[in-house]
Amino acid sequence: MVPTHIFINGCSFLAYRPKDDIMTHAGIELQKLMNLKHGGAIAGGGRGNKRLSVTTKVWCQRNQKLAKKCFFVIGITSGTRFDYPTNDGYKKKKFPDLKTTWRTVTPQQYASQVTNFFKYLFTQGLDMDQMIQLESIEATLNLQNFLKVNKYPYVMYNTLSNTPIENEDVKALFDIIDKKRFFKPETSHYDFITENNLIASKKDPHPSVEGHKRWAEQLLEFIDANNLRTIE
């Protein structure tokens, strides 16, 4: 079935940015290029890959008929973002259709404190690089398998970059990612905009309007070159 709608999920790189007067993003630009209707868009600024995986699956379960009509655009974000569900309704108004609200914690938030949160949580031998990489890869594989099992056509890419993989076990998991449906896994949208000076401002390294449009154009080329609009 050829999709008629689009579903978008990820971090702030796939959301509007009113503070910089940027009322578009790569997902919207791709929607225009593919001539698709709006299906769902639940990208959350500052959120990580656990929320991305969980909310995508929840949305599909609660919107099964619409999900079958969608092409899925998934922006894998940094593995440094550790999401957790909340009981305080945090930013509930942004996502009224989702019952679970989320917050995110990162190692950087605690780097300046005498008692580092992550060293406290994991008291011995913490390998931060592996932890970050596995957080991202496991969420990617989890969501990849869900989309494939349910035959939802999709494309994934990195919005932000992770550290180079050196551990052989982590590399073995990375190799399971379907590169046919993952655009430029060795780089990210962030790398592209910073290398080409397509940022919103010097103080805000998010994509400019042109940065979103040019990334969407590359995504379209990749999608059509690999016949990704449908899935078997």
* Confidence band, pLDDT 50/70/90 cuts, at residue 120: low
- Selected residue with higher pLDDT from 60 and 105: 60
Tell me what the pLDDT averaged over the chain comes to: 92
What is the arithmetic mean of pLDDT over 21-50? 97
Question: What percentage of the chain has pLDDT greater than the value 70?
Answer: 93
Q: Which structure tokens are listed for 232? A: 């078997």
Q: Report the C-alpha gap between 122 and 37 in whole angstroms.
A: 45
DSSP string for 77-107: --TT-EEEEESS-TTGGG-TT-S-EEEEE-G
For 5-225, CATH number out of 1.10.10, 1.10.3470, 3.30.70, 3.40.50 equals: 3.40.50
* The pLDDT value given to residue 97: 85
pLDDT in tens, 189-212: 999 999 999 999 888 899 999 999
Question: For residue range 142-197, what is the model confidence (pLDDT) as tens digits?
Answer: 999 999 999 999 999 999 988 899 999 999 999 999 999 999 999 999 999 999 99
Q: What is the structure's pLDDT at 68?
A: 98
pLDDT of residue 118: 61
Provide the pLDDT for residue 127: 83
- Name the residue among 8, 141, 18 with its Cα closest to residue 75: 8
Q: Above 70 in pLDDT, residue 70?
A: yes
Residue 9 has pLDDT above 50, yes or no: yes
Q: Please give the pLDDT value at position 114.
A: 44
The 10s digit of each residue's pLDDT in 88-111 is 999 999 998 899 999 998 876 655
Of 33, 52, 136, the closest CA to residue 41 belongs to 52
Residue 118: count of CB within 10 angstroms of its CB: 16
Is the pLDDT score of 126 beyond 80? no
The whole-number pLDDT of residue 112 equals: 54
Domain ranges of the chain: 5-225
